[in-house]
Amino acid sequence: MNNKIFIRAYKPSDAQHLVNIYYNTIHHINIKDYSEEQVEAWAPTLSLELSVWFKKWKAIPPLVASIDGIVVGFVELESSGHIDCFYVHHKFQGRGIGTSLMKEVFKTANHLNLKKVFAEVSITAKPFFEAKGFKVIKQQEVAIRTVKLVNFVMEKFNP
């Protein structure tokens, strides 16, 4: 095992891995900053339904991080510069995977001549995004399935 992080384009065969990362990261990592009710609203069991994700990823294919063939993270960058999903496997946190994904986001943003990238960032992810040069525009309370939770609108110019 060489632990080299490889960033590549999404393949439909990645879908189940990415959905599992989404669900498990929220339930194992974000639970430190959000209540059980908030986590369940954010990533309910029904969020594991692949057909919804297939449709989403057909429109906005994510970048996928892997180590030794194991899918360990993903990010979605929209053509507007909006980062929608940014998740690292809950068992692979703190290994540089998020940094590698963000470098690829910046590289892609530059290639697309985007002036800024922006995201709605969880309490949990806020320190990571700040460390990558993002600034908080505003704190907001959003409702997901009628449950309110706090996140931050953050942006970075000239990524």
Per-residue DSSP letter, 35: -
Cα 121 to Cα 62: distance, rounded to the nearest angstrom: 17
Residues facing 153 on adjacent strands: 120, 138
**Res. 159 pLDDT band, cuts 50 70 90:** confident
Beta carbons within 8 Å of 54's beta carbon, 6+ residues apart: 12, 15
Q: What kind and span of H or E run contains 73? A: strand 70-77
Class of domain 5-118: alpha beta
The pLDDT value given to residue 1: 58
The pLDDT value given to residue 3: 85
Task: Give percent of the chain above pLDDT 90.
Answer: 92
CA–CA–CA angle 77, 20, 57 (5° rounding) = 35
Q: What is the pLDDT of residues 104-122, one digit of tens each?
A: 999 999 999 999 999 999 9
